[in-house]
Amino acid sequence: MNERCNRCGRVLKNPVYVEIGYGKVCAAKEGVTVPKHEKKNVDKPVEKEN
Buried residues in 13-42 as b, exposed as e (16+ CB within 10 A): eeeebbebbbbeebbeeeeeeeeeeeeeee
pLDDT computed for residue 50 by the predictor: 66
| Domain spans of the chain, in order of start | 1-35
pLDDT computed for residue 27 by the predictor: 95
Instruction: List, for residues 1-50, the tens digit of each pLDDT value.
Output: 679 999 999 999 999 999 999 999 999 999 998 877 665 656 666 677 76
This prediction has a pTM of 0.64
pLDDT computed for residue 14 by the predictor: 93
Beta bridge partners of 48: none
